Amino acid sequence: MASDSRNLLETVWSYIAFALMLIGIVGLSFQFFRDDGWAEQIIGKVWEAETRNPLLMTPVILGGAWVLLLFFRGGLVVGKGHPLSDAFVYLLMVAGGWFLYQWLSSGAA
């Protein structure tokens, strides 16, 4: 009996975590790709930094290459126990909770 309730709680938590991650991905994508969104702002600032100080971009490029290498080697797989992948999942869940709160509070106003 206790095993059934534990399985039910694990299943409910899995659905909540998945929903929060999905909301986080959708919210971040919307903020990133909309007109005058984060993508336009980042690209503008990166272009300015690259033309002014090209050495400033070296750590950014190396960091991006490291994350891509982790991704292709399977280091960002959830449940593998790697702290970076777990942190990524929790950050997406926090972002999903924040976007859900923003959506619910703007609908109530």
Average pLDDT in the 31-56 region? 73
Domain boundaries, the chain: 32-99
Question: What is the dihedral angle through the alpha carbons of 48, 51, 54, 58, rounded to the nearest 10 degrees?
Answer: 40
pLDDT, residue 106, reads: 85
User: What does the block give as tokens for 1?
Assistant: 């009996």
Are 19 and 12 in contact by the 8 Å Cβ rule? The answer is no
Residues 68-84 have a mean pLDDT of 66
Predicted confidence at residue 54, as pLDDT, reads 65
CA angle 76, 32, 45 (to 5 degrees): 100
pLDDT band at 73 (very low <50, low <70, confident <90, very high): confident
Under 8 Å between Cβ of 100 and 21: no
0.75 surpassed by pTM: no
Burial of 61 (0-12, 13-18, 19+ CB in 10 A): exposed
What rounded mean pLDDT belongs to the chain?
77
